[in-house]
Amino acid sequence: MLVGYDTLITNIALAAILAYSFHVVLMAGQLNLGQAGFASLGAYVSTLIVPTEPLFGSLSPVLIGIPVGAFVGGAAAFLVGLPVLRLRGVFLAIGTIAFGEMVRVFMNNAEWTNGALGVRVDKWVTVDFAWIIVAVLAYLFWRLGPSRIGRAFAAVREDELAASSMGVNVVRTRMTSFVASGAIAGVYGVMFLYFFGRITPTTFDFSLTVDGLVTAVLGGYLVFFGPILGAGFFTAVPELQKALGVEAGWVDPFITAVILLIVILFLPGGLSTAFARIRRGRPDPGGDIEGLEPLPDNGTPIASIKGLGKSYGAVQAVREVDLDLRSGEILGVIGPNGAGKTTLVNMISGLETPTTGEGEVLGVRLGATGGAHRFAQAGVSRTFQHSKLFDRLSVLDNVLVGTHAVSRSTYLRRLIWLPSARRDEKRARALAWAQLRRVGLADRAHARPGSLSYGDQRRLEIARALASHPTLLILDEPAAGMNHVEAAELAELIRSLADDRITVLFIEHNVKMVLDTCTRLVVLNFGEVIAEGEPRAVAADPKVVEAYLGGVLDEEASENV
């Protein structure tokens, strides 16, 4: 039926495989552009290993080539990732491009690769073989989307700090996507080699990288079938033009480029957005949330800090802070702008390392290496002064990321459809829905965060933080920008959390609300604790009054909202 189209159809499959190697890093927000290098390594190494005769007389030797390519590409990505993954954005992109070029020059100069003259092998890849690889990849990505690791990818893409505060191991997630990308690129290299029977070092040059990136972005990296759409597009458009009798020459690349421009400008998220809109969110599954560890009894010490300080160069943001937290407390932290409040909670939640002093939060030592996710996994959860919601995830998905620290990895079990994975996902959704109901956002579960009012966005952040079933909840100015009514509702919510034995530490400018809510108050000024104790007593402390501009603390500050 399709005689004479095998190559075209296989070209789509190959382009899709290449695009998947970009897809997996774009999903996690990593601009890795070293795929040409990984593909080259995978292909050239497989020429050394893959036998030239069919296996057992009838099996394609590429069956050996595929794992070789995946392993070589993945291992290379791991080794390159160790130094390079400290970089972000454009720096990461250019660093990985540099790697790809280094591989090309190396292959061009090495003896065993036959240099610029290239390598010839027998053609073992057929059209159905190529499409099975694509189908496998599509399946892997389809199952990845709504899994715990899939959500971690999305969270890291949208906001690394928020992701790590939700317990996502950012370094490992980035590395995972990086290695997966290398492995897929390696498979691409092998597939290319054994379909065309020929490679030279320039087969894997920078233009290959641009093609793969463009295909992946055009198809859309938010939907699992994006690469296939992108690959189909880039093969179909020139063919269509040919069928319409457009003359070869400049017209064809011109039209292709114009269409690409139009798609990218008018279809944000690529071609697949057109399909993704149709998907509807699932309803609240209800049900019990089992297996959550009980929170510690009231009065249990949960944090202890001695002489904590932080300086940025000559600027001493926090100095000599001692602080103890006990379970069930609502600790308010107030102080003028620049008093070091945010720096303090950043240290307590593991986002910043102290320069002096020591401390322990829920058994995690401050300043130890390893990232903020360890604090989250120990039971610390937080919101941010400037809200750090995951903009391209729905309200529900935002909260689902919050369940990361208290759920188990489901991806592998999802691949083989184990019922336990379904149970775990259901439990995570139940947990997320419970938090949405708790903050009163259940009816907006399928909206985008950007469409929520400012106050609702703050509440969503709290819901997300609560989804990790925290022992200690840190709120950084949760009432900022809220009106009186909303602030009062928030105060009510915070008190109810304490009733559920959640310890709350919160920074707030709305002093009236702080006094109404907290059980203990700490006042910071110029990075130092200037007063601490029972809220009303502290508020009357002359030093505190002094710090707050001439002393009309209560009245002025509370009017100031």
Partner 1 sequence: MLQQLANGVFAGSIYALFAIGFTLVFGILRHLNLAHAAIFTAGAFVGIEIATRTGMPIWVLFPVVAAVGALAGLLLERVAFRPLAGRDDEHFAGLISSVAFGGVLIALIQARYGTEPKSFKQDYFPNQLFEFGGIRVTLTQLVTLGLALVLMLGLAWLVSATPLGRAMRAVAENPTAAKVVGVNVHSVTAGTYALSSALGTVAGALLALNLGQADRGLGLSIELIGFAVIILGGLGSLWGAMAAGIVLGLAEALTIHYFDSTWKGLVPFALLFLVLVIRPRGLFGHVKVREV
Partner 2 sequence: MRLKSSSAAAAIAAAALLVSAGCVSESPASNESDSALTGSGTGADCTIDETVKIGAVFSLTEAAAFAGAYQSEGFELAIEELNAVGGVKYEMILEDDKTTVEDSVAAFEKLINRDEVSAIVGPTLSNMAFTTYTDAQSAGVPALGVSTTAEGIPEIGDYIFRASLPEEVALAASIPAAKESLGLEEVAVLYDSADEFTASAYNTILDVLADEGIEVVVDESFETADADFSAQLTKVLEADVDAVILSALPGATVPLVKQARDLEIEAPIVGGNAFNSPVLVGALETASEGLIVGGAWSAAAETTGNAEFIANYFAKYERQPDQFAAQAYTAAYLLDQAIRADCDANREAIKDNLGQILEFDSILGPISIDESGEVTQEPVVQIVRDGEFTLL
- Residues of the shown chain interacting with partner 2 in the complex, contacts defined by CB under 8 A: 3-8, 11, 14, 54, 58-60, 62-63, 66-67, 70, 74, 108-109, 115-118, 120, 123-124, 126, 128-129, 132-133, 135-136, 139-140, 149, 175-176, 179-180, 183, 196-198, 200-203, 248-250, 252-253, 409, 411-412, 415-416
Tell me whether residue 305 is exposed, middle or buried, using C-beta atoms within 10 angstroms of its C-beta: 0 to 12, 13 to 18, 19 or more. Answer: buried
Q: Report if residue 240 touches partner 1, rule: CB under 8 A.
A: no
**8-state DSSP, 59:** B
Buried b / exposed e over 67-106, threshold 16 CB at 10 Å, is: ebbbbbbbbbbeebbeebbeeeeeebbebbbebbbebbee
Whole-angstrom distance, CA of residue 155 vs CA of residue 214: 23
Q: Report if residue 84 touches partner 1, rule: CB under 8 A.
A: yes
Give whichever of 11 and 383 is closer to partner 2, judged by the CB atom.
Answer: 11
The binder of 129, among partner 1, partner 2, none, by C-beta within 5 to 8 A per type, is partner 2
Whole-angstrom distance, CA of residue 212 vs CA of residue 94: 16
Only one residue has tokens 């005769």, namely 53
Q: Report if residue 268 touches partner 1, rule: CB under 8 A.
A: yes
Q: Can you read off the two tokens belonging to residue 541?
A: 């402390």
The binder of 149, among partner 2, partner 1, none, by C-beta within 5 to 8 A per type, is partner 2
CB of 246 to partner 1, least distance (A): 12
Q: Report if residue 76 touches partner 1, rule: CB under 8 A.
A: no
CB of 526 to partner 2, least distance (A): 45
The binder of 126, among partner 1, partner 2, none, by C-beta within 5 to 8 A per type, is partner 2
Terminal alpha carbon distance of the chain: 72
Whole-angstrom distance, CA of residue 267 vs CA of residue 263: 5
State the CB neighbour count (10 A cutoff) for residue 307. 13
Q: Report if residue 90 touches partner 1, rule: CB under 8 A.
A: yes
Range in contact with partner 1 (rule: CB under 8 A) among 69-77, 81-89, 504-512, 543-551: 81-89
| Binder of partner 1 out of 7, 109, 451, 560 (CB under 8 A) | 109
Q: Report if residue 160 touches partner 1, rule: CB under 8 A.
A: no
Q: Give the containing element (helix H, strand E) for 316.
A: strand 315-326
Short-list 458, 471, 486, 460, CA closest to 561: 486
Strands 356-361 and 301-312: antiparallel
The contact pattern for partner 1, residues 360-399, with x = CB under 8 A and - = no contact, is ------------------------xx-----xx-------
Give whichever of 43 and 351 is closer to partner 1, judged by the CB atom.
Answer: 351
Q: Report if residue 171 touches partner 1, rule: CB under 8 A.
A: no
How many positions of this chain bind partner 1 (CB under 8 A)?
54
Q: Report if residue 344 touches partner 1, rule: CB under 8 A.
A: no
**8-state DSSP, 1:** -
Range in contact with partner 1 (rule: CB under 8 A) among 105-113, 119-127, 133-141, 410-418: 105-113
Only one residue has tokens 């290398």, namely 182
Whole-angstrom distance, CA of residue 79 vs CA of residue 377: 28
CB of 33 to partner 2, least distance (A): 18
The contact pattern for partner 1, residues 414-453, with x = CB under 8 A and - = no contact, is ----------------------------------------
CB of 507 to partner 1, least distance (A): 12
Are the C-beta atoms of 273 and 229 separated by less than 8 Å?
no
User: Any idea what the Cα angle at residue 24 is, between residues 408 and 261, rounded to 5°?
Assistant: 140
Scan residues 15-34 and list those touching partner 1 (CB under 8 A).
26, 31
Q: Can you read off the two tokens belonging to residue 193?
A: 């080699």
State the CB neighbour count (10 A cutoff) for residue 201. 23
Whole-angstrom distance, CA of residue 525 vs CA of residue 300: 28
Give whichever of 31 and 187 is closer to partner 1, judged by the CB atom.
Answer: 31
Range in contact with partner 1 (rule: CB under 8 A) among 256-264, 277-285, 294-302, 330-338: 256-264
Helices 127-144, 226-243: crossing angle, 10 deg rounding: 140
Whole-angstrom distance, CA of residue 361 vs CA of residue 350: 9
The binder of 95, among partner 1, partner 2, none, by C-beta within 5 to 8 A per type, is partner 1
Q: Give the containing element (helix H, strand E) for 80.
A: helix 62-84
Give whichever of 62 and 231 is closer to partner 1, judged by the CB atom.
Answer: 231
At residue 365, the 3 state secondary structure works out as strand
Give whichever of 210 and 412 is closer to partner 1, judged by the CB atom.
Answer: 210
CB of 236 to partner 2, least distance (A): 13
Q: Can you read off the two tokens belonging to residue 316?
A: 């001493």
Give whichever of 5 and 454 is closer to partner 2, judged by the CB atom.
Answer: 5
Measured on CA atoms in the order 527, 532, 535, 536, is the torsion positive or negative? negative
Name the residues that contact partner 1, by CB under 8 A. 26, 31, 83-84, 86-87, 89-91, 93-95, 97-99, 101-102, 104-106, 108-109, 161, 206-207, 210, 213-214, 217-218, 221, 249-251, 253-254, 256-258, 260-261, 264-265, 268-269, 312, 342, 346, 351-352, 384-385, 391-392
